[in-house]
Amino acid sequence: MTPLASYRRLLHIAGPAYVLVAFVGRLPLAMSQLGTLLLVSTASGSYGLGGLSAGALAVANAVGAPVAGTLADRFGQRLVVLAQSLLGATGLVLLVTAVGSDAGDGTVVLAAAATGLMLPQVGPLARVRWRPLTRATGGHQRRLVDAAFSYEGAADEASFAIGPALVGLSVAAVSPSGALLLAAALLAVFGSAFALDPSARLTHAQERPTGTGRLVTPAYAVLVGAQLSIGMLFGATQTGATVLATDAGTPGVAGLVHATLGVGSAVAGLATAYVPERIGHERRALVAAWALLVLSLPLLVVGSLATATVTVLFLGVAVAPYMIAVFSLAERVVPPARVGAAMTMLASATGLGYALGSSLAGWFADASGATAAFGVTVGATVLAVVLMTSQQRRLRTATVAAEADLAQAPSEEPALLGASGPGVSSRK
């Protein structure tokens, strides 16, 4: 099956409506951090308070996501994601209300943190659905799941380019509060639709092999560290771009520079479906880690926004293949009944890495400028290379063992998909 045929088959299995809902449903999370920063900073006149509020939202989301993933594994995604979508949308509205009513700084920060705690991680949870959705495809399943993860990686990158762009357009057309209210509306509508889609029924732990073993194994810990490193890359790169843009007198351009990282990454993410199946994901992650290091080195010599933009664009080409390989490995090495927790925990590691990378880069930039900030970017890629180079055998062994266990598990195809095949109509 060719990669293009794989994408067509996935679209047929899940249905165009689901693909649209799952993509738009992840935009509010991509909009919330920048939207909070702009809203609070504009209203208070303090970038410090704005950054603290946005950081509180991001950290709270990183803490809450694995809890939500665990609950989704146990009780099903439908109830958990629906509650998150409605509560998260309400939280965004209350945050706008708190800022508009001149609430105290502590109240605003707490409102941002409470909102972040509720926001659903739609991208990681969407990944969980593809294996049960494709279970009736027999020998094609592995290829289809790989293609699905390639698409999800590209969709995530696209969302983190489109989300901030929507914030910018909303701020220009309405106000900073309008950006967060738009995010709330999208979350209430599309997040709820994602929760209620029939595919959510397939993720309930009781309808999947329960498996044995722990979630946090040495192999999975390596993957958490891998996502921490890519989060550091995101945070440091955005900080470095912000320093360059501010020095040039055009601070607003920083978001556009960072968005090019998502553009290159999204394109490369879709292309990873063309990688031969015989090349294991641990090897793909290794090659991508080295590519990240090589492509990040020019950031140490860039001196203008133009050269930084081009460099970041090419750097993005290695980002999605790296993340896709990491998420694919995680989906394979954890017990089937814990995949939701595993995916959301990786997303949390990315968020924590972002906070760490931006903090370190900001501290170095205060002392030595943009080049020092980009040095943190390069350091993050070195961490990725060390992890993937030293842990190849561990990851390969864990993958082989997990695939052997999966092959021995009894088929649950009839309970999941019925007798009519893998199309949309066959889902309960």
pLDDT tens by residue, 302-323: 888 889 889 999 998 999 899 9
Tokens encoding 350: 């990315």
Q: Which residue has the tokens 């995101």?
A: 234
For residue 115, the model assigns a pLDDT of: 94
> What pLDDT, on a 0 to 100 scale, did the predictor assign at position 417?
38
Q: What is the DSSP letter of 174?
A: T
The parts of the chain modelled with pLDDT lower than 50 are 205-212, 411-428
Q: Which runs of consecutive H residues, i.e. helices, occur in 101-121?
A: 105-118
pLDDT at 427: 37
* Helix locations, 119-206, DSSP H: 122-133, 141-173, 176-186, 192-196
Listed residue (148, 141, 147) closest to 127, CA to CA: 148
Rounded Cα gap, residues 206 and 81, in angstroms: 18
> What's residue 405's pLDDT?
62
What is the spatial distance between Cα 54 and Cα 105, in angstroms, rounded to a whole number? 13
Q: What is the pLDDT of residue 426?
A: 35
Task: Using the CB atoms, write b or e for 128-165: b if 16+ within 10 Å.
Answer: bbbbbbbbbbeebbebbbbbbbbbbbbbbbbbbbbbbb
CA–CA gap between residue 52 and residue 40 (Å, rounded): 9
What are the structural domains of the chain? 15-208 (1.20.1250.20), 211-408 (1.20.1250.20)
Asked if residues 146 and 16 have their Cβ atoms less than 8 Å apart, the reply is: no
pLDDT value at residue 47: 63
Alpha carbons 342 and 327: distance in angstroms, whole number: 9
- Residue 362 φ/ψ region, left for φ over 0, alpha for ψ in the -120 to 50 degree band, beta for the rest: alpha
Please give the Cα distance from 49 to 413 (Å, whole number). 52
Supply the pLDDT for residue 255.
Answer: 66
Task: Identify the pLDDT of residue 98.
Answer: 93
DSSP 49: H
DSSP states of 191-227 as a string? IHHHHHSGGGGGG-GGGS----S-SS-HHHHHHHHHH
Residue closest to 259 by CA, chosen among 300, 308, 293, 226? 308
Which structure tokens are listed for 109? 């920060």
Give the number of C-alpha atoms closer than 13 A to the C-alpha of residue 406, restricted to the C-beta side.
Answer: 19
Q: Dihedrals φ, ψ of 302, to 5°? A: -70, 145
Please give the C-alpha separations between residue 187 and each of 23, 35, 196, 212, 315, in angstroms, as whole numbers. Answer: 11, 14, 13, 35, 31
Q: How far apart are CA 236 and CA 292, in angstroms?
A: 14
